Amino acid sequence: MAALPRTVLISGCSSGIGLELAVQLAHDPQKRYQVVATMRDLRKKEALETAAGEALGQTLTVAQLDVCSDESVAQCLSCIQGGEVDVLVNNAGVGLLGPLEGLSLAAMQNVFDTNFFGAVRLVKAVLPGMKRRRQGHIVVVSSVMGLQGVMFNDVYAASKFALEGFFESLAIQLLQFNIFISLVEPGPVITEFEGKLLAQVSAAEFPGTDPDTLHYFRDSYLPASRELFRSVGQSPQDVAQAIVKVIDSARPPLRRQTNARYTPLTILKNVDPSGHLYVRTTHSLLFRWPRLLNFGLRCLACSCLPGRVRPR
């Protein structure tokens, strides 16, 4: 007798990684998944529905979900048959970039409300059912910025660090209930959202920021960031494929980085746990040896290097 398809609830599916993941799971040849692809604004569902094709209404349904609203989460779950979620993918997120002095506390709180508390809200909603059934899988789209700080990404990185600590702590308890947690950690991902964000901050004023810091942001960080995306950026399709493999895994990993080309940039922190080597080296590359940094990034982009980490 064939096993019943697993219900997969994914947040943030209007574009990017969430859209690609929803479509890939819905098009599974063995039809092992019933995908509930959600987004805050259903006016943005056209791209997802077009990509889903014949899977729409069969193995994929689109639903409204605002991870910042208890009522929206409850309404979404009430529309799922039995209200049972086998796999939860916390993908919804927002970015924030720029000099700290020019960012409002309200903007910072919005990042945490979505990236951290939004994920916690969804987990709290599905966890009782998973515990009762003694099975489940919670996948969290984190970031390499949950492992290392990146200049001018202070608040975004902090939200990802919070996710890493929260879900690693929770994973210990949930293993007793046969519930697995997987933190997926992409590096740079080339999306329309990222392109718009970089364009916006390039022209932003950031009131209250001193001229030196603005100079470092615009003339040091932004060019290096663009080169990083160009050299080692992944497509949403590649990241989605890595997440599918995590979901398919008989023994889901706690952590999975998706981009092998980014690994050299994370090694420094592992080599020196004090953090001194990472901070000093990154500072020198950005402010003293930018040409060496650009050369190194171009080397990482060499086609002889693997594009992504493959499951063992």
Q: Is 156 a catalytic residue?
A: yes
- 283 marked as binding residue: no
Q: Which residues contact 201 (CB under 8 A, 6 or more apart)?
A: 97, 98, 222
Give the closest residue to 137 by CA, choosing from 78, 186, 177. 177
Q: Does the annotation list 23 as a binding residue? A: yes
- 104 annotated as ligand-binding: no
Tell me: is residue 245 an annotated ligand-binding position.
no
Among 156, 221, 262, 278, the one annotated catalytic:
156
Q: Does 144 appear as a known binding residue?
A: no
20 known member of a binding site: yes
Q: Is 119 annotated as a binding residue?
A: no
Q: Is 41 flagged in the annotation as binding?
A: no
Tell me: is residue 249 an annotated ligand-binding position.
no
Instruction: Tell me if 22 is assigned to a ligand binding site.
Output: yes
Instruction: Quickly tell me which residue has 């952590």 as its tokens.
Output: 255
Candidates 40, 32, 31; CA nearest to 11 is: 40
Say how far apart CA 215 and CA 256 lie, in whole Å. Answer: 36
143 belongs to an annotated ligand binding site: yes
State yes or no: 28 annotated in a binding site. Answer: yes
What is the rounded distance in angstroms from the CA atom of residue 64 to the CA atom of residue 92? Answer: 12
Q: How far is residue 215 from each of residues 88, 218, 287, 304, measured CA to CA in Å?
A: 42, 5, 11, 35
Q: Residues in the chain, how many?
A: 312
Q: Please state, in angstroms and rounded to a whole number, the distance separating the CA atoms of residues 197 and 201.
A: 6
With b for 16 or more beta-carbon neighbours within 10 A and e for fewer, the 241-267 pattern comes to bbbbbbbeeeebeebbbbbbbbbebbe
Q: Residues annotated as binding site for NADP(+)?
A: 12-40, 66, 160
Residues marked active site are found at: 156
Q: Residues annotated as binding site?
A: 12-40, 66, 143, 160
Q: Residues annotated as binding site for substrate?
A: 143
